[in-house]
Amino acid sequence: MKPRIIARLDIKNDHVIKGIHLEGLRKVGAPKELAKKYYDMGVDEILFIDPVASLYQRNSLFQTLKEASEEVFIPLTIGGGLRSVEDVSRALDSGADKISINTAALKNPNLISETARIYGSQCVVISIEAKKNPSMPCGYEAYNENGRNKTQKDVLEWTREVQALGAGEVLLTSIDQEGTKKGFDLDLCKLVNQGTSLPVLASGGCGKQEHLDQLTKHCSISGVVLASALHYELFEIISEHRS
């Protein structure tokens, strides 16, 4: 079975933005318009992320999500600044099917188990921003605050920990490859995919069809998260799930 195609919209100040290595962000469009465009294109899910929400202690995407959910009828995930079960409740009330957390999960792992207990594991996506670090047991360190802060957490150990806490999915972003359009970090994807039973969503580096083909050839990944490939129309993307 081919992986789900997931559109990623990083949103700041009501604009979809894109950068390289999670830095140097530039505007690429309006959230509602791009969400509808990618929905019409046939993507399977859409991910709305405020990349600096935790840094500024905010959660500002609820209205954006609510507006998009009126025209987009596929699973929607929201992430950025969700720090409590109350935030999760508000996100779901605004039209989200799932929530994605990173910084809050690292600061308060109980948020994972509490959210899973109340809303079910299928609702909980743990975002893991990974960067190569030879000093870590698995060779990769987890970061937070949109790739700004080291956590001293081994990526594979953290993945197994969130699984035990009740997470339902992992959004795995390679900081090294993110925005480069040079291909996925296949070693990272295989490492996490084989080291856990959680569905893994691979993000970071896709710039052409061959990159998707390489990923699916070497790794039975659950979903592929695309941003630049969609924003800049680098190749034609049609999901077999909805075509």
Indicate if 87 belongs to the active site: no
Per-residue pLDDT of the chain (243 residues; tens, 9 = 90+): 789 999 999 888 788 887 665 554 677 788 999 999 999 999 999 999 987 655 445 556 898 899 999 999 999 999 988 999 999 999 999 999 999 999 999 999 999 999 999 999 999 999 999 999 999 999 999 998 877 789 999 999 999 999 999 999 999 999 999 988 999 999 999 999 999 999 999 999 999 999 999 999 989 899 999 998 898 888 887 666 555
Exposed, middle or buried by CB within 10 Å (0-12, 13-18, 19+), for 236? exposed
140 SS3 class: strand
Residue matched to tokens 């290595």: 21
pTM, 2 dp: 0.92
Q: Point out the catalytic residue in the list 10, 44, 45, 50.
A: 10
Q: Which of 129, 141, 154, 178 is catalytic?
A: 129
Catalytic annotation present for 67: no
**Helix/strand/coil for 229:** helix
* Domain 4-231 bears CATH identifier 3.20.20.70: yes
Q: Which structure tokens are listed for 124?
A: 């909980």
Identity of residue 146: N
Domain spans of the chain?
A: 4-231
